[in-house]
Copies of this chain bind each other. A is one copy, B any other.
Amino acid sequence: MTYSAIRSAQVAFLAFSSLGGIFLGTSGLAAECDAVSESEHFLPVNADTVHWGYFSQDLEPELVINSGDVVTVETLTHHANDDASLMVTGDPGAESVYAWTSDAKGVDRRGAGSTDPEVYENGSGQGFGVHILTGPIYICGAEPGDVVEVEILDVALRPSGNPEYPDRTFGSNAAAWWGFHYNDLIEEPAGREVITIYELDATGATDYATALYNFTWTPQTDPFGVVHETIDYPGVPVDPDTVEENYDILEGVRVPVRPHFGVIGLAPAEADIVDSVPPSYFGGNIDNWRIGAGATMYYPVAVEGGLLSMGDPHAAQGDSELAGTAIETSLTGVIRVTVHKQADLAGTILEGLYYPLLETDTEYVVHGFSYANYLEELGDTAQQDIYSNSSVDLAMRDAFRKMRHFLMTTQGLSEDEAITLMSVAADFGITQVVDGNWGVHGIMLKEILAESPEATATAPVEVAENAEEMGDR
């Protein structure tokens, strides 16, 4: 779907979505499911349809869909207020989410932390989790043990709403205190955080981003009067009068645009409210730039209805997301969501799936983390401890185990076969080193495997049969 087609879908669905209030909470959802008659849906982004900085099994769904339905989902970057004139102004959805006066915020809670003013320092939710997540979407029929498939049919840049910038999209990259580089700077001053604003063509006429300007973060006072010495709370409006904008940066550099969603995930069962930053078995903030148009993700279901949320839209990111963020840019995605029942998984690529799996036309990609399920492995203090216990080594270990699982369970290989094949043909890359639970992904080309190209999650992988058909080579 092109940008203009998505725009049309937005207009067409606005009447529907503006009805509001048709979702009545988790009680009575069976009745909701019976009432779902459309197979295509539109989920706009605004203060009413987002949760900011966390996943929760307790959230009321913003949309109820059937398995196989298609949803157009708007998402907003949580870095739009790095330059509100480019990324918020004139965009009603963004304006409603980012609204913040001395009296109130459009979205008060930002993060999984405390909402008690006596406890928090940075703001409600404490910024323990940063992503603006659209959803959740309740998928009728999804139960714990099932797998939810999310096909990303299309992704489009969200144009600036500011009439001064027609057909332009802007994004922000923050080289922040949580970046891998931060304590290892060679130019002065040490301890600086730098925001780089990027510019893109919203019409897709060019396929690269260019840097517009950068500035070093200075203490920012939010509308409630809290001073943010560092980037410690999402959505703090940057006052352009307080920063020095440097133009003429990265001259001639063109960053290939590879739009994708940093966060797509289901609600975890281990805790009622979970920081959106560390990825885990349920997906979340995987930050793999391959999760864009044409990709299919599979997530294990932990709670009834799955409760799918997505956000953290990116225009471009490198493997490792070194400095802490991508080109953070609002996007609209078109997804098809399908439930695969636990009883039907045997003999498919989803058999025994306990991790987020990516499938593209050419690849299977397993996602390893320092801790496969940090909420369970690190116990009651997991959401704090994960930030001080991650390593790439642990994530590589986990990615190895998951690729072994994938090859043994779904491709019918022995351990010895799986290990030699990994050594000679699987590519392991560093997904990210900045999201608390660090990531390593393992890539296996489909063409290597014995299965036929037609084999998908919905059809058993008939390894032996295909091998025979292909003959003795």
A295 to chain B, nearest CB (A): 16
Instruction: Please indicate which of the listed interface residues A192, A323, A423, A433 has the most CB atoms of chain B within 10 Å of its own CB.
Output: A423
Cα A415 to Cα B181 in complex, Å, equals: 10
- Contacts A322-B428, A428-B320, A448-B255 hold; do A196 and B466 have CB atoms under 8 A apart? no
The prevalent SS among residues of A at the interface is: mixed
Q: Which B residues lie within 8 Å of A450 (CB)? A: 251-253
A199 to chain B, nearest CB (A): 9
Of the listed stretches A6-14, A32-40, A296-304, A324-332, name the one at the interface; the rest are far from the partner chain. A324-332
Complex Cα distance A391/B414, Å? 28
Q: Which of B173, B392, B428, B470 contacts A420 (CB 8 A)?
A: B173
A473 CB to nearest B CB, Å: 5
Contact B196 A326 (CB under 8 A): no
Interface residues on chain A, number (Cβ under 8 Å): 78
Is A177 among interface residues, defined by CB-CB distance under 8 A? no
Residues of chain A in range 440-455 having any CB-CB distance to chain B below 8 Å: 440, 445, 447-451
Could you tell me if A466 and B180 are in contact, using CB atoms closer than 8 angstroms? Answer: no
Cβ-neighbour of A253 out of B252, B421, B440 (below 8 A): B421
Which residues of A line the B interface, CB within 8 A?
173, 175, 179-181, 184-187, 192, 194, 196, 198, 206, 209-211, 214, 216, 249-256, 316-327, 391-393, 396-397, 400-401, 404, 413-417, 419-430, 433, 440, 445, 447-451, 463-464, 466-467, 470, 473
Partner of A425, one of B255, B397, B425, B429: B255
CB pairs A–B below 8 angstroms (22 shown): A179-B423, A180-B397, A184-B397, A187-B415, A214-B416, A214-B417, A214-B420, A249-B417, A251-B463, A251-B464, A252-B463, A252-B467, A252-B470, A253-B450, A254-B473, A256-B445, A256-B448, A318-B427, A318-B428, A321-B423, A323-B419, A323-B420
